[in-house]
Amino acid sequence: CHPLGLSKVSIDFILDRSKSLIIVKGSVKTTNTTGVEMEALTAVSVAALTIYDMLKSVNKFIKINDIKLVFKTGGKSGDFPPDSNRE
């Protein structure tokens, strides 16, 4: 999303077959003095769109829901949620 030096990017997939769900979780780290939440949100969005593209021939009713920031630390705007100190 932005031209930043990233020190770590990870995407995890959690399958819930009983609910026909794939949960996509993204994590990004940098040593820069800015937050990288946009990079994590972009990574999750692209992963979800890739899954959609691969499965649309099987099911035309696939939905991508609830892409959101869960937490972040550091950056100009500070932690989110504000009392977060998770790594």
SS3 for 22-86 is EEEEEEEEECCCCCCHHHHHHHHHHHHHHHHHHHCCCCCCCCCCCCCCCCECCCCCCCECCCCCC
Is 83 considered catalytic here?
no
User: Which of 53, 66, 79, 83 is labelled catalytic?
Assistant: 53
Q: Among all residues, which ones are annotated catalytic?
A: 53
